[in-house]
Amino acid sequence: QSALTQPASVSGSPGQSITISCTGTSSDVGSYNLVSWYQQHPGKAPKLMIYEVTKRPSGVSNRFSGSKSGNTASLTISGLQAEDEADYYCCSYAGSGTFYVFGTGTKVTVL
């Protein structure tokens, strides 16, 4: 099972919106509405930002939103802030054989 494909880097200016894509296959992203997104600052553990494609855990800013179309999921960060600069990973459930597959990761830079 290959990793989900994410762009290596995305950048934006403060206040702007950016979108990170996460492309999988019909065996993972395309089959299940079970995509989650994680934010990871350097030297820190990942933090859950989005689950079940669109849901936000309590405490996560509503500037973060998720969506999915076909085999591609997306994370949008609106009103970009300096603190959003981090690595972001998507993850999809892939059925009872593979279980979970992570994305390749995207480095978000706030210009």
Partner 1 sequence: QVQLQESGPGLVKPSQTLSLTCSVSGGSISSGIYYWSWIRQPAGKGLEWIGRLYTSGSTNYNPSLKSRVTISVDTSKNQFSLRLSSVTAADTAIYYCARDDRAGAAFAFDIWGQGTMVTVSS
The site for partner 1 (CB under 8 A) is made up of 1, 3, 32, 34, 36, 38, 45-48, 51-52, 55, 57, 89, 91, 93, 96-105
Nearest approach, Cβ of residue 16 and partner 1 (Å): 26
* Residues with Cβ within 8 Å of residue 8, at least 6 apart in sequence: 104, 105, 106, 107
Nearer to partner 1, 18 or 90 (CB): 90
Q: Are 40 and 49 in contact (CB under 8 A)?
A: no
CB of 58 to partner 1, least distance (A): 9
Angle at 75 (CA atoms; ends 74, 78), nearest 5 degrees: 135
Q: Give just the sign of the alpha carbon dihedral 72, 78, 82, 83.
A: negative
For the CB of residue 38, give the shortest distance to partner 1 in the complex, in Å: 7
The smaller minimum CB distance to partner 1, of residues 28 and 84, is found at: 28
